[in-house]
Amino acid sequence: MRTDSTADVAIIGAGPYGLSAAAHLLHAGIDVLVFGQPMSFWRLHMPQGMLLRSSPRASNISDPERRLTLARYRETSGLPTRNPLPLADFLGYAEWFRKQIGLAVDNRRVMRVEPTAAGFSLLLEDGERITVPRVVVAGGIAPFARRPPPLREVGEPFVLHSVDVRQAAHFRERRVIVIGAGQSALETAALLHEARSDVEIVARARRVIWIPSPEEKGLGHRIDQLSYAPTEVGPRGVGWVAAVPDVFRRLPELPRARIGAVCVAPMGSYWLRPRLRDVPLSMGRRAVAISRENGRVILKLDDGTKREADHVVLGTGFHVDVARYDFLAPALVRSLRLADGSPVLGTGLESSVPRLHFVGAPAARTFGPVMRFVVGTAYAAPALTRAILGRPPLPIIRAW
């Protein structure tokens, strides 16, 4: 069955970026259709018991009037202020946000997006096909989980990415090696350790970089905090460049790459440090080979030593490659101007295919590392809305 939709825009994805884009577009009088399970990545790929690395202040989903904040949600719901913020609280906030903007999400999966003379054709999982003039891809990062060689040579369930470790209790009394020294790797290791797994962390980094706790911050540190951007993305000074995506995208490619790398460098939140006190860390080590022997995983490191485990968990981050969005037709992907898998975007986060926009992590190469965090919705949604309304871009839209 084919339907010509009366909507102006179809948004694929109902995570923070999809919800924020819908809020701004609806407020501007633009009819939208949003497809997907609300907050599916956060519900299905974040570990139970997780705490958000970003503070509540930097975890607001953007709405056009800046009133649907976490603070407002806590006030109206009678919930205590908690920092760090539990995953369950953030999921409750996102659902409250959706209801406040009056958004009904179509839970059907989009199977294929293809260009047409009228815009785009969307094939849905039940066989219905609709056409819309414009598409916003807010598909999240789940398809981009990075599995570096040689660790991809052994598959699941023996080698898993951290996005697939939903319940640490499933690994009780098993030997688990966690690869990486960033937030995801460290928190996964902490949760596994607390679930009574035998855990070891192996990482290329020479040491773990810990984000200091508020209690450790004296007057001098609070003054120094003025040099840090309120996005909480990036170190002093550099973070301010990343906090203004319109400035970031005008930089030459090399500085953009360097700033991006610095802002997403592996580090762990202060509240993980005591939880990992009894977990051994093998730092400055790199896996060079992996195999299976007698039902176990054998990991060989670059110093010649070996580790034997029941499972290896990869806390190795994500690498954007929009070709891995299986709903994008191959011909459509070939029409995109890409740089190392990321779409090259113009104002309004519009791709080289007219009226096809990308928000969230796929926009990070053009607009900076804040696009990988919820705080980036404060830039993406209003910039997108202005473009769809046909208004000229503002010189600067801040990302907080």
* pLDDT per position as a tens digit, 216-270: 555 455 555 667 899 999 988 899 999 999 999 999 999 999 999 999 999 999 9
Position 284 scores a pLDDT of: 97
Question: What is the DSSP code string of 37-68?
Answer: -TTHHHHHHSPTT-B-SS-GGG-PPP-TTS--
Residue length of the chain: 400
pLDDT of residue 221: 53
User: For the packed helices 70-77 and 87-100, what is the interaxial angle rounded to 10 degrees?
Assistant: 90
Q: Residue 239 and residue 261: Cα distance in Å, rounded?
A: 12
Task: Report the C-alpha gap between 59 and 373 in whole angstroms.
Answer: 8
User: Cβ atoms within 10 A of the Cβ of 398, count?
Assistant: 16
CA distance 359 to 271: 30
The per-residue pLDDT for 55 is 94
pLDDT for 228 equals 85
The CA-CA-CA angle for residues 227, 233, 236, to 5°, reads 25
Per the prediction, the chain carries an average pLDDT of 94
Lowest mean pLDDT among 2-11, 18-27, 178-187: 2-11
Taking the C-alpha atoms of residue 379 and residue 243, their distance in angstroms, rounded to an integer, is: 9
pLDDT of residue 225: 64
pLDDT reported for residue 2: 57
The more confidently predicted of residues 400 and 329 is: 329
> Domains of the chain (ranges plus CATH)?
2-144+319-389 (3.50.50.60), 151-209+267-314 (3.50.50.60)
Average pLDDT score over residue span 323-336: 98
State residue 223's pLDDT score.
55
For residue 65, the model assigns a pLDDT of 97
pTM over 0.85: yes
The stretch 52-67 carries a mean pLDDT of 96
Tokens of 68: 């649907």
Where helices occur in the chain by DSSP H, the ranges are: 16-27, 40-45, 70-77, 87-100, 183-194, 219-224, 238-242, 245-248, 253-263, 330-335, 364-367, 377-389
The mean per-residue pLDDT over the stretch 378-390 comes to 98
At residue 346, the 3 state secondary structure works out as coil
Rg over alpha carbons for the chain, rounded to the nearest Å, is 22
